[in-house]
Amino acid sequence: MIEKAGERGVKLEFKPYIAYRVRDGLYAVAMYKWIINGKCPFLNDENLCSIHDVKPLACKMYPLIIGWDDKTLRVSGACPWIRDHLEELRGIDPSKVFPEEFRAVVEALAVLDRIEKLAAENGWERLVGGGFDEGELIDIDYFF
């Protein structure tokens, strides 16, 4: 993705969002927030995603969303299509309406489980949004 952005002369900006305290001063980053100013640089002239094959998991899931804490499956009300079809979607299994997106959800939940297991085994404290800004940050992948 970063490579694709480079090809377009775009520099992507990410901010650590969820991290675990490995020890004082060292934090394992489990999730980054992608800072998009204005519209996504990967939208093409037809307003379609131009990096479909390598787009982030969150994009692959959308409009399905996972609650990080309780692992509930949610459907984004920010999606105009969802808003337009709200009544007819009530009570329908989201995996039937969005099979491809649901597969991405399953993939994301598997990643989340691995992270939680690793954190529990090591007694790492989870920090959301901040508290780790001053320390050394390392991708959680490093520990797998």
CA distance 48 to 42: 8
Cβ pair 137, 27 in contact under 8 A:
yes
DSSP state of 55: -
Q: What angle do CA 26, 105, 121 make, to 5 degrees?
A: 35
Exactly one of 20, 27, 42, 132 binds ligand SF4 (CB under 6 A); which one?
42
- The closest alpha carbon to 40, from 56, 63, 64, belongs to 56
CA 48 to chain centroid, in Å, comes to 19
51 lines the binding site for ligand SF4 (CB under 6 A): yes
Piece in contact with ligand SF4 (CB under 6 A), picked from 10-18, 37-45, 77-85, 128-136: 37-45
The least CB distance from residue 56 to ligand SF4, in Å, is 6
Q: Which is nearer to ligand SF4, 58 or 97 (CB)?
A: 58
5 lines the binding site for ligand SF4 (CB under 6 A): no
61 lines the binding site for ligand SF4 (CB under 6 A): no
DSSP state of 62: T
40 lines the binding site for ligand SF4 (CB under 6 A): yes
Piece in contact with ligand SF4 (CB under 6 A), picked from 19-27, 51-59, 86-94, 107-115: 51-59
Give the CA diameter of the chain: 51
CA distance 69 to 55: 24
Piece in contact with ligand SF4 (CB under 6 A), picked from 5-13, 40-48, 99-107, 122-130: 40-48
Q: Which is nearer to ligand SF4, 47 or 72 (CB)?
A: 47
Exactly one of 12, 49, 75, 97 binds ligand SF4 (CB under 6 A); which one?
49
